[in-house]
Structure 1
Amino acid sequence: MNRSNIKLPDLPTEILFIILKRLDNMDVLYSLFDVDTHRLNTVVQHKVFTTALNFVLLTSTDDILPVTDLILDRFCMSILPKIDHNITSLIIESQSMERILRAADYPNLTKLKIYNFLDKIAACYFTGKKAKRKLNVYNSQDNYVDTSPFRRIFQEQIIDLSLVYKHGIDILAERLYRKGVHGHVLTFFKSLQDLSITGLPSLLTLSDSPLTTCSSSTLSKLCVFLNGFGECLALLDGRLAGLTTLIVILDSTRLHSSTYNMDNLPNLKCFSLKCLCMSDEYDTQIVPLLRRMLNLQELTLNIFIQNRFTLVDGTQINNEILIHMPLLQKFTFYIHTGSDRNGSIRLSSDEIRRTFANIGYPHMDCIRYDFPHMARCHIFSLPFMFENFQFLGNSFPSIVFDRVTHLSVSDNVPFEHEFFVRLARHFPSLKELSVINRMSQSNVSDQLNSQETQSFPPIEYPHLTSLFLVYANIDYVDQLLNQEKIVLPCLTKLEVDYDYLISVTNNFTRDATRPNCAK
């Protein structure tokens, strides 16, 4: 066979699978569905390509957009009606939700993720009635919407639901469910086993609510953003009796006076907590909650503790928490403690590392900073598994923090150019950077007024979209906006002192700062 004449349909089926599986399944369906031979079409319709479909686009600034109308038209008219029996999972954007769900019957759909969610979507579609409602929640036209197809899918089939709220909306103006949409969702989705509702507008309030509010006998996994620590205790007071996995982000650890069921939680197998604790809240609230989880197998803690008398170490974690979890198999943590310098116990970084080695957790590291009136200590398991790192200083270990996308750096000594070189190397995925340092760069600042160029090769932060320099010396404004020093090809958001910006950009006429500020 002349190799130059080989076409895709001529390849053996096994080779076709190998090639097509390397491509995005949405591209495969859009490009090849019903366009060639029966054999190729049979391959394209295989469950490998048709089980899970993603109808959203992620921009470089993490904005979520629906696919184009051209792509949506082809899928809704020609593809979805023929493969809907294979589809078990859909990822959709709220504006195109109705059209996609009406395009086919989806008899096996069990998993649904909706981006850019709003409370009005729940009010319009998560209902069992036929009523006069807006056909599209983004316009003002009223129509009679028959929600029965959605009701069948939502109530009888969906066991895994994820709602991701739209960013940048007016929370008070948009929220229709003042105590959160969670209870409405759990009531409407009868078969739900896994629920995730993320984004600030989804804050759940359960204060003084009966056990029938936000209750479910089928739910086993919940990911939720809560107003305060009391809401966390309320969720664990028996209203979710089948819960085995709870992932919580706390807006606050303040606990208002109320009475909660404080029995042990033997059914809970996996718990993840992200929060900021003030003073003694870690010891008086977080630790007692964890000690109730007797059969926990996986624990994840991302905690920032301010103004604690002593630094958290391995001995404290073991004696107060881990010995109460005999079945624990996996412990992932990042605990950042800020402590007054008058604390009674001052362990060095090496001593803190040894406290973890002594309890069987040698795969961790510690970064400690001492300041005149306080100490900061970062302890974390390895590899580092979290997206945020706060108040990193000049000294840090030679570890690649490839999961960190949000970083703040702070110190009472200057950040020189070499620091930003190391930062780019060890934090390759950065999307947001905040610089807090009023100290002038001793090795660079003297050159700024005398010459435009400098001897350092430029470094690149290829994914950085947001930069915060409000609490930074003018030297760092120049350091980060001058493309001859640092290249920021994706920067779209900048917060900086206006006078500093005028000075560094020479009233917006300086060529060296134009590229980084162009977007």
Structure 2
Amino acid sequence: MNISNNNYSNIFDLPNELLFIIIKKLNIGDVIYSLVDVNERFVHLLFDPFYIQNLNITLMTMKSFCHRTFSIHEQVLSNICENILPNIHDQVKQLAIEQHSIERILTYNYSQLYSLSLVNFKEEILFQYLTDYSVLRDLLSQQITHLNIDIETDEIPKLLSKISLDIFTMILSLCQRLIKLNFCQTKLPQLKYFSLASFDMIQNFDDYIIPLLRRMINLEESRLFLAVVRVDSTVIDGTEVYDQVLVHMSQMSKFVFSINNGVFFENNEIDVPSNEDIQNSFIGREYGPVGSYVKTF
């Protein structure tokens, strides 16, 4: 039965323009593997230069920020490497790859490649590739202008480890054409609502909480109830909250917060802001009514 001749429609009835929009919303690895042999029309759409120039051969399953799994099925990966890449490698301009597939993917010469994303790599393995894998080193030194590095982690990233610092230093030394670098900064673009409450004193607010919040680039509503302790540092005020957090969240429409900030001053030369200073720091920054209280001992 020809479905397209009755009151029902199927995907083959859609115009190419609409099909192309749908395809662009899907994971390119799955799309190429699933649709490349359907018919000549799909082959033409899939191998459109504007589509395949951005090749993301990763697939992320996210249970939480700290528990992410990157894995493309071996059969899918083999088909891409053996049957797809030989025909498109010289048209790819942006490429995202995982740790377990890097050597198979980089077998080919990507003459137009300028952007590379290395996704969910263990520190030690990435360091080894940067040290010993000549194919990657040549790409980074001769072609790559935009580089994204995502280090695998089991916890919210804080200060960089020594090996991550070594990787960072090596990248800066190796990448002679580098224009843009994102290092260990995985964003959370789908997150719209976020609430965090802690009644224990947080000593690593700047290392844990701030980097996490900055990844929520499309956050619309947030509630923070925190107790933060610092030593010889500034008091959290409206200026810091805006400059460190809110300026990165253009979609934010509702922000409710209560921050109990204890600061221990071992250096008497540091000026302690007054309650009026704290209040004034919220003026002119799109805050609603804000209350504050300062007490010194």
Out of 254, 261, 280, the residue aligned to residue 338 of structure 1 is 261
Partner of 1:116: 120
Tell whether 2:60 aligns with 1:57: yes
Matches within 5 A, 1:18-417: 18-37=21-40, 39-50=41-52, 51-61=54-64, 62-102=67-107, 104-127=108-131, 147-168=133-154, 177=163, 180-198=166-184, 251=207, 306=230, 312-313=236-237, 317=239, 331=247, 336=259, 338-339=261-262, 345-347=274-276, 355-357=281-283, 360-363=284-287, 366=290
Distance across 1 between alignment mates of 2:127 and 2:87:
31
Q: Of Structure 1 and Structure 2, which has the larger fraction of its residues in helix?
A: 2
Distance across 2 between alignment mates of 1:160 and 1:151:
14
Instruction: Write the letter of the residue equivalent to 2:74.
Output: D
On the 8 A contact 1:64/1:115 being kept in 2, the answer is: no
Distance across 1 between alignment mates of 2:286 and 2:162:
49
Q: Which runs of 5+ in 2 are unaligned?
A: 156-160, 186-204, 213-227, 250-256, 264-271
Inter-CA distance 109–339: structure 2 relative to 1 (3 Å threshold): same
Distance across 1 between alignment mates of 2:258 and 2:173:
36
On the 8 A contact 1:313/1:352 being kept in 2, the answer is: yes
Partner of 1:455: none
Distance across 2 between alignment mates of 1:54 and 1:96:
9
Task: Report SS of the residue matched to 2:96.
Answer: strand
Q: CA deviation at 1:27?
A: 3.1
Task: Report SS of the residue matched to 1:180.
Answer: helix
On the 8 A contact 1:310/1:346 being kept in 2, the answer is: no
Instruction: Write the letter of the residue equivalent to 1:356.
Output: F
Distance across 2 between alignment mates of 1:331 and 1:178:
27
Inter-CA distance 188–309: structure 2 relative to 1 (3 Å threshold): closer
Inter-CA distance 53–313: structure 2 relative to 1 (3 Å threshold): closer
Partner of 1:3: 6
On the 8 A contact 1:111/1:159 being kept in 2, the answer is: yes
On the 8 A contact 1:309/1:344 being kept in 2, the answer is: no
Instruction: Write the letter of the residue equivalent to 1:111.
Output: S
Q: CA deviation at 1:32?
A: 0.8
Task: Report SS of the residue matched to 1:35.
Answer: coil
Deviations 1:203-258 (A, max 9, x none): xxxxxxxxxxxxxxxxxxxxxxxxxxxxxxxxxxxxxxxxxxxxxx9659xxxxxx
Inter-CA distance 366–307: structure 2 relative to 1 (3 Å threshold): farther
Distance across 2 between alignment mates of 1:14 and 1:178:
44
Instruction: Write the letter of the residue equivalent to 2:97.
Output: I
Distance across 2 between alignment mates of 1:309 and 1:157:
42
Instruction: Write the letter of the residue equivalent to 2:101.
Output: S
Q: Which has the larger radius of gyration?
A: 1
Inter-CA distance 197–15: structure 2 relative to 1 (3 Å threshold): closer
Q: CA deviation at 1:72?
A: 0.9
Inter-CA distance 181–344: structure 2 relative to 1 (3 Å threshold): closer
Inter-CA distance 11–97: structure 2 relative to 1 (3 Å threshold): same
RMSD: 4.4
Q: CA deviation at 1:197?
A: 2.8
Partner of 1:482: none
Task: Report SS of the residue matched to 1:60.
Answer: strand
Distance across 2 between alignment mates of 1:189 and 1:78:
31
Percent identical across equivalent pairs?
25
Distance across 1 between alignment mates of 2:293 and 2:10:
63
TM-score by length of 2: 0.60
Q: Which runs of 5+ in 1 are unaligned?
A: 130-146, 170-174, 200-248, 253-272, 276-303, 323-329, 375-519
On the 8 A contact 1:91/1:113 being kept in 2, the answer is: yes
Q: CA deviation at 1:311?
A: 5.3
On the 8 A contact 2:97/2:117 being kept in 1, the answer is: yes
Distance across 2 between alignment mates of 1:82 and 1:188:
29
Deviations 1:408-458 (A, max 9, x none): xxxxxxxxxxxxxxxxxxxxxxxxxxxxxxxxxxxxxxxxxxxxxxxxxxx
Aligned residues: 233
Q: Which has the higher contact order (CA 8 A, sep 6+)?
A: 2
